[in-house]
Amino acid sequence: MKGLQRFLAWATVAVMAFPASAFAEATENGTGAQLTEAELEEEYTASGMWMSETEGNVHLYDPEDQPLEPEEGMRFESGSVLETEEESAAVIDMDRERLAIMDQISRAGFQKTDQGDGISISLQYGAMYFRVGIPLEENESFDVNLGDLVLAIRGTCGMVLQNEGEDTSIILASGHAAITQAVGEKEDRTDENNAEDRETENAEPEEILIEAGECVSVKQDETTGGLQFEKKKLTEEEVPAFLREALQKDPEQLEKVYEETGWQPEKLFADVAPARGSEQEDEVMAYYRTIIREAERYDFFDFGETVTGYQYAIVYLDEDTVPTLLLAEMTWDGIRYIKLFHYDPEQHLTIESMNSLGEYHQMLYLRSGNRGLLKWYADGAYAYGINEIYIEGGDYKEKEVWYETNYDKAWPDNLPYEEIAWTDV
């Protein structure tokens, strides 16, 4: 779907300290209002609902069916309804581990539950991706209502597809979940004239379990009016494009998906490297945004210095169309400790450098024209070297391109270079 390919990163990216953050300038608090980052941290609960990102034409209605102007960072209340038009999409963030992504031409209502911290989503038509990163607590719930069905999600990801007036499909990409329905149960009852048995409605639900890699299709039996269920294991080729696109935005989730489903990345995704400046390159940037917002969880192999912040830069190691992310940890003495991350289009995963480069007696530069990465280092009092950094066999390598002993210049004239443009996180 074009809209999803263009813009979606994970919803929690919205709480990063990016310069263009929608929260940075907001001061008003309350329903339908934007929050500052500090307020957002304080009020981020499992029963909140936030408009994290939108693309295209998205319509939001309050519980009285009055239209609202959807804005990124907006908090909307229980009973709100969200619609997306063609080539449009929306991300709804419910807490740090729970989110929903609505596909184009979809409509859903959002409701807080009466007990505990819970949210119920009624998908009226269209498709929706859901993700719960960690299992919910006993007092938490996240349900998707699909007419006569309820999907109870506790710690999983997948998608639901509701064709208005037709069938329903539920697909899990990781974890497991339960589908419940209200069923009719035959009860032998005879009236005073020993008339025919009658079928009565029983409130006890029937539960259908679904595991990672499985799809449950539900259709209405035209003869009996009841529901027919078909459960099957999906092959990579049968996974809908919308689900593939959503999974591509979260490499950590993809690792779980591969492990639990047995799906192979070369089959799940087309083996096409994204071209520079294309919509496909946006998918790579979505991977990198996830890494950037979690910068402090990586080991930069420093020497225990006080960390003052993080920076990042996007560079190209060679003529390849896939960029590389440089993520730097800044310390109080001004030294950067740098890790490299490179998206591998064949595996659809991001390669992480095992070690980091500390800019002490060595520095990173770009070849002129952003055509490669160079490392200058000092080897003794009057010896200098320059290595080119490249990728081979899924790992980072270095190749010496210049070295001189007792040399009075720190950089050769025939090897033009540029400073790296670092951006503060």
The pLDDT value recorded for residue 271 is: 42
Answer yes or no: do 304 and 408 share one domain. Answer: yes
Indicate yes or no: pTM above 0.75. Answer: no
- Between CA 403 and CA 196 the distance in angstroms is 98
- Residues 86, 146, single domain; the answer is yes
Asked whether residue 273 is assigned to any structural domain, the reply reads: no
Do residues 180 and 34 both lie within one domain? yes
Q: Would the pLDDT of 108 be above 90? A: yes
Residue where one domain finishes, among candidates 268, 288, 304: 268
Reply yes or no on whether the pLDDT at 278 is more than 80: no
pLDDT for position 160: 94
Could you tell me if residue 131 is inside a domain? yes
Residue 12 counted as domain residue? yes
Q: How many domains does the chain have?
A: 2
Pair (347, 228) in one structural domain? no
- Mean pLDDT score of the chain: 76
3-state secondary structure the chain: CHHHHHHCCCHHHHHCCCCCCCCCCCCCCCCCCCCCHHHHHHHCCCCCCEEEEEECCEEEECCCCCEECCCCCEECCCCEEEEECCCCEEEEEEECCEEEEECCCEEEEEEECCCCEEEEEEEEEEEEEEEECCCCCCCEEEEEEECCEEEEECCCEEEEEECCCCCEEEEEEECEEEEEEEEEEEECCCCCCCCCCEEEEEEEEEEEEEECCEEEEEEECCCCCCEEEEEEECCHHHCCHHHHHHHCCCHHHHHHHHHHHCCCHHHHCCCCCCCCCCHHHHHHHHHHHHHHHCHHHCCCCCCCCCEEEEEEEEECCCCCCCCEEEEEEEECCCCEEEEEEEEECCCCEEEECCCCEECCCEEEEEECCCCCEEEEEECCCCCEEEEEEEEECCEEEEEEEEEECCCCCCCCCCCCEECCCCEEC
- Over residues 362-395, the pLDDT tens digits come to 899 988 766 788 999 888 778 889 999 887 765 6
- Which token pair is 410? 């720190």
Indicate if 345 and 408 belong to the same structural domain: yes
On the question of pLDDT at 127 being above 90, the answer is yes
Q: Looking at the domain assignment, is residue 295 inside a domain?
A: yes
Domain check: are 21 and 145 in the same one? yes
State mean pLDDT over 165-193. 70
115 or 340: whose pLDDT is higher?
A: 340
In whole angstroms, give the CA distance from residue 81 to residue 66.
10
Q: Do both 195 and 76 map to the same domain?
A: yes
Confidence class for position 360, pLDDT limits 50, 70, 90: confident
Lowest mean pLDDT among 38-47, 60-69, 348-357, 413-422: 38-47
Higher pLDDT, 321 or 243: 243
Predicted confidence band of residue 281 (pLDDT cuts 50, 70, 90): low
pLDDT of residue 164: 65
Out of 200-204, 263-267, 403-407, the most confident range is: 403-407
The domain boundary, picked from 221, 245, 268, lies at: 268
Residue 274 lies in a domain: no
Which residues span the domain enclosing 334? 279-424
Residue 318 lies in a domain: yes
**Is the residue at 86 inside a domain?**
yes
| CA angle, 86 then 91 then 95, to 5° | 165
Does residue 263 surpass a pLDDT of 80? yes
Q: Is residue 207 part of a domain?
A: yes
Here the CATH number for the domain that contains residue 171 is 2.60.120.1440
Same structural domain for residues 170 and 259? yes
Q: What is the pLDDT of residue 394?
A: 58
Do 258 and 352 lie in one domain? The reply is no
Q: Mean pLDDT, to the nearest integer, of 312-336?
A: 84
pLDDT range class, residue 2, cuts 50, 70, 90: very low
| Residue 207, Ramachandran bin (φ over 0: left; ψ between -120 and 50: alpha; else beta) | beta
231: nearest Cα among 162, 171, 150, 156 = 171
Of 268, 287, 322, the last residue of a domain is 268
Residues 284 and 251 in one domain: no
Percent of the chain with pLDDT over 70: 73
Q: Are residues 207 and 294 in the same domain?
A: no
Q: Which of 81-85, 152-156, 421-425 has the lowest mean pLDDT?
A: 152-156
pLDDT band for 60, please (50, 70, 90 cuts).
Answer: very high
Residues 284 and 263 in one domain: no
